[in-house]
Each structure stands twice: as C-alpha cells, then as structure tokens.
Amino acid sequence: MDYENFLQVHLVPLISSPLDGGNPTDNGRVSSIYWDGERLQTKGGSSRWAEHLSELDDFHDRSTKLILDIAGVNDSNADFGGLKKALRRGGPYWLEAGAEDEDDLFDVLTLDPSIAALGSLRAESLEIFEQAMEISDACIPMLYLQDGDVHFKTYMDGLDAVCRSMTDMGYDECIIMDLDSLGGPMDKKLWDRVSSLDISCIPAGGIDPEDITYLARTGYKAAVFDPRIVSKPQYEDSIRPLETEHTISKPRHSGHWTGL
C-alpha cells in the first residue's frame, strides 16, 4: 500500500520558561505528555525547542507540527508572545493554544498557523465552534475524548452527537484526541468505531508512525503522532512546573505583541 499521501502530523507539547518572557526558541522545551484524569502532565525527559524541531525534520523533511501549548490547554494561559517568535521557523504549523472565546481565537489566528486547532477542553459550549466557522476556514475542531465522550470545560457529551453538531455547522473534518491513550498504545477499537462517523477524523493520542498501516487500511488519511523525545532526560530549575504561574505577554487580546 502506498502511504506517500498519508499526512503525518507530529504533536509538539510546549513547556515555556519564564526567564525571557516565555520564549520557546531559547528556553522552551518539548516533552512527552499524558492525561491524569484532570490535566495534561509531562513525563520523562524533555528536549530543547530548536533541537526537537531539527530532530523532527531529520525524521520527516518539513514535517507538519501540531504545537500544543500546555499552559494554554490546561489553564487558558498560553504564551502568545513566545509562540509568535517560535513559529517564525520550522513550519508548517498547526496550533492548539487553549482558546476559550472569540478574542482568544483572533490571537491564535494572528499567529497565522496553517490550522488553528480549536480544542474542546477549554470550550464552555459549542458556541465558539460556530464563531470560528464564521471567522476563518483555517479553524478545525479538536475534540478531546475521555472514556469515549467529548470532554468540554465543564461537561461531557457523546462523540456521535458532537460530531453531528460539527457537520451541521459546516465542518467536514476534525481532530480527535484520545486522552486515555495519550502517551501509551493506540486503542484500535476506538478508531474502528470513529472511522464510521460521518465527519472525517484525524486520530491523535497513542498514535505512532508504525500505526500508519492500520490507520490507512481503516480509511484514515492523516494522524497526529505522539511526541518522541530522543534527548537525554534533563531537569532544570528554569523549567516552570505545570501547576505554577509563569510570565506571559500582556495584554492577551491587545492585537500587538509586547515583552519580547
């Protein structure tokens, strides 16, 4: 089977450092992540932002990268100033920064990612997806699954019902992140079921390049691979623990960038 046209997207979970205003190009790191039932957490070692991008491009020339700002997705506290500087090199990029409202969405789109992945974890309701459809065709939903249901900020909903809502809005594609498998093995039973949905889905969570054969034969045309951190584990005081506050560029919705 020819997999040349299978789109390989590499998940890049970003931990930013407060030392220079959260500049990922210098002090930011990339780490493997998992879901602890409430939040995204890092695990194992980490590698420097620039080094990780070089490793990805060595593995897959000009690979597409899905940048996931961990602070943004966990707490809607994304470092947009640092992201702006980081996204100047090494693209193409997709970006999930934990947008909660229309102002957040404009912040994300100002960074000009190829795809603005609009995650359900920060969404109060389906309204933000409706707004995104009206604002830009670069936005696609990113539905986070826990125990088979879509995880929104304050509630859960069935995957089938949510996907029907997305198609009713006009979306024909979405990313589905399996939180239960993130950082572990792929759940084939889940992806067998998802493949029958009316909307075209891009699997994420527990996906490895070796899974392309199964996914392509099941009918998928793209997938988001879990990060592979090949650098030796490094732990530095300069790296912000996930549960602590860090410095971000202010104001969040100003339309211009400060602090870098």
Domain count of the fold of the chain: 1
Please report whether residue 16 resides in a domain.
yes
Please report whether residue 203 resides in a domain.
yes
Please report whether residue 22 resides in a domain.
yes
Please report whether residue 97 resides in a domain.
yes
CATH classification of the domain holding 61: 3.20.20.70
For residue 53, give its domain range: 7-225
Q: What is the pLDDT along the chain (260 residues), one digit of tens a residue?
A: 556 789 999 999 988 644 344 444 445 788 889 999 999 998 877 777 777 777 776 666 667 999 999 999 999 888 887 788 777 766 789 999 999 999 999 999 999 999 999 999 999 999 999 999 999 999 999 999 999 999 999 999 999 999 999 999 999 999 999 999 999 999 999 999 999 999 999 999 999 999 999 999 999 999 999 987 765 444 444 444 444 333 333 333 333 222 22
Q: For residues 143 and 36, what is the distance between their CA atoms, to the nearest angstrom?
A: 17
Please report whether residue 60 resides in a domain.
yes
Q: For residues 182 and 33, what is the distance between their CA atoms, to the nearest angstrom?
A: 7
The structure tokens listed for 218 are 């099941």
Please report whether residue 258 resides in a domain.
no
